[in-house]
């Protein structure tokens, strides 16, 4: 793969998962960025990896670097920007407890001929990959029992998918309620694929996700909201803007397996409550927005979506200057208004 970067945020010393990622990046010619924070070891060193220490982040010539809060997952935004500055046209992201399989490194295309679920409402996409009763983190509890659209009757056609979510085996991304009440490990169908299109909602995460250049503005992770919802709410905004551009979000089988870091599940549950209570309302508000088609409208579309969250009281007003700084950074790197447009 060329013009590709892998981005992870971590406060860990080099661990087996990070080493596996570094080795794979070296073998495949991929730039690898690890974004540190206040608890990162001062002597972090890993061959095949560029470590962005907090000091090096502060020295980045981008206004957003001084605005992002510390001790926060949203510092990953600086890793995305570092990858763009290096010339990446494709950004892959994962976490420091995910182990890549060989399939993780296979080159991915933007256009896929797959079943496309449109006008499906809430779609528990995990059910296309297993018969188990399992749902992704961020999926509304009130929709868990709803049947998923039958892929036998879903339209299959070529669709541009500049965002692609791979699943994770063994310890997939599920919410605290699932972890407290149901069985793990779980495994998924490696060969299955489905695209989620206009009129359909699901949640996707930042743990095994590929972004092509036209979708780079949508990488932005918010800071002033529930920690367990920051990447989930990003996914809802990304889906809504994908609708405006005629894009789908591709879901494919697992190319990583997770050996999950230690978590306090009751703390996770508390952080997920804003999602349990509001995700249906959020997506109803996003669906009602008037968004324009095309790359040049991406900044205004992002502002409209984040403004909707602020008006719902779910993201703080402090987010808007940060979003403006993100868009300013994209423009300085030649990313804003770029991409291949609507196909």
Q: CB–CB of 218/241 below 8 Å?
A: yes
pLDDT of residue 2: 62
Q: CB–CB of 33/52 below 8 Å?
A: yes
Q: CB–CB of 58/65 below 8 Å?
A: yes
pLDDT of residue 341: 37
Phi then psi for residue 65, to 5 deg, are -65, -30
3-state secondary structure string, 49-64? CEEECHHHHHCCCCCH
3-state secondary structure string, 224-265? CCCHHHHHHHHHHHHHHHHHHHCCCEEEEEEEEEECCCCCCH
**Is residue 89 domain-resident?**
yes
The CA distance from 343 to 339, in Å, is: 11
pLDDT of residue 336: 66
Cis-peptide, bond into residue 343, ω within 30° of zero:
no
Residue 279 has pLDDT above 90, yes or no: yes
Residue 340 has pLDDT above 90, yes or no: no
**Is residue 226 domain-resident?**
yes
**Is residue 319 domain-resident?**
yes
Q: pLDDT digit string (tens) for 88-113?
A: 999 999 999 999 999 999 999 999 99
Residue that wins the pLDDT comparison between 115 and 339: 115
The CA distance from 299 to 5, in Å, is: 23
**Mean pLDDT, residues 28-49 taken together:** 95
Domain assignment of residue 140, given as a range = 4-332
DSSP state of 33: E
pLDDT of residue 343: 34
pLDDT of residue 253: 97
Short-list 282, 335, 276, CA closest to 308: 282
**Is residue 58 domain-resident?**
yes
Conformation bin of residue 119: beta by default, left when phi > 0, alpha when psi is -120 to 50 = left
**Is residue 340 domain-resident?**
no
Q: CB–CB of 193/161 below 8 Å?
A: no
**Is residue 342 domain-resident?**
no
Q: pLDDT digit string (tens) for 290-329?
A: 999 999 999 999 999 999 999 999 999 999 999 999 999 9
| Element containing residue 280 per DSSP (H, E) | helix 265-287
pLDDT confidence band for 262 (50 / 70 / 90):
confident
**Is residue 131 domain-resident?**
yes
Q: pLDDT digit string (tens) for 210-237?
A: 999 999 999 999 999 999 999 999 999 9
pLDDT of residue 97: 95
What is the average pLDDT value for the chain, to the nearest integer? Answer: 94
Return the CATH number at 201: 3.90.550
pLDDT of residue 337: 47
pLDDT confidence band for 157 (50 / 70 / 90):
confident
3-state secondary structure string, 65-128? HHHCCCCCHHHHHHHHHHHHHCCCCEEEEECCCEEECHHHHCCCCCEEEEEEECCCEECCHHHH
pLDDT of residue 210: 98
pLDDT confidence band for 142 (50 / 70 / 90):
very high
Query: Lowest mean pLDDT: which of 192-196, 217-221, 222-226, 332-336?
Result: 332-336
Task: Give me the number of domains the chain comprises.
Answer: 1
Q: pLDDT digit string (tens) for 51-90?
A: 999 999 999 999 999 999 999 999 999 999 999 999 999 9
pLDDT confidence band for 156 (50 / 70 / 90):
confident
**Is residue 343 domain-resident?**
no
pTM equals 0.95
**Mean pLDDT, residues 270-299 taken together:** 97
């Amino acid at each position: 793969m060329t013009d590709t970067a892998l981005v992870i945020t971590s406060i860990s010393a080099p661990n087996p998962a990070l080493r596996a990622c570094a080795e794979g990046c070296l073998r495949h010619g991929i730039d690898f960025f690890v974004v540190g924070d206040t608890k990162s070891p001062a002597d972090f060193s890993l061959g095949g990896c560029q470590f962005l220490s907090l000091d090096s982040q502060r020295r980045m010539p981008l206004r957003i670097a001084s605005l992002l809060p510390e001790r926060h997952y949203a510092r990953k935004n600086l890793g995305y920007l570092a990858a763009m500055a290096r010339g990446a046209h494709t950004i892959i992201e994962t976490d420091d407890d995910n182990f890549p399989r060989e399939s993780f490194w296979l080159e991915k295309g933007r256009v896929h001929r797959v079943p496309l679920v449109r006008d499906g409402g809430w779609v528990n996409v995990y059910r296309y990959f297993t018969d188990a009763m399992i749902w992704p983190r961020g999926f509304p509890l009130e929709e868990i029992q709803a049947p998923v659209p039958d892929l036998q009757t879903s339209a299959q056609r070529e669709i541009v998918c500049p965002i692609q979510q791979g699943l994770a085996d063994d310890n997939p991304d599920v919410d605290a309620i699932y972890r407290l009440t149901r069985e793990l490990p779980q495994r998924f169908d490696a060969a299955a694929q489905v695209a989620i299109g206009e009129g359909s909602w699901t949640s996707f995460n930042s743990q095994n996700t590929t972004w092509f250049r036209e979708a780079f503005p949508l990488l932005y992770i918010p800071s002033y909201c529930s920690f367990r919802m920051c990447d989930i709410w990003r996914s809802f905004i990304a889906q809504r803007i994908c609708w405006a551009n005629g894009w789908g979000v591709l879901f494919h089988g697992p190319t990583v397996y997770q050996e999950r870091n230690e978590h306090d599940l009751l703390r996770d549950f508390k952080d997920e409550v804003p999602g349990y209570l509001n995700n249906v309302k959020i997506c109803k508000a996003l669906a009602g927005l008037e968004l324009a088609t095309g790359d040049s409208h991406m900044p205004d579309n992002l502002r409209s979506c984040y403004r909707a969250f602020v008006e719902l009281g779910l993201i703080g007003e402090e987010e808007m200057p940060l979003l403006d700084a993100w868009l300013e950074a994209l423009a300085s790197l030649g990313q804003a208004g770029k991409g291949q447009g609507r196909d």
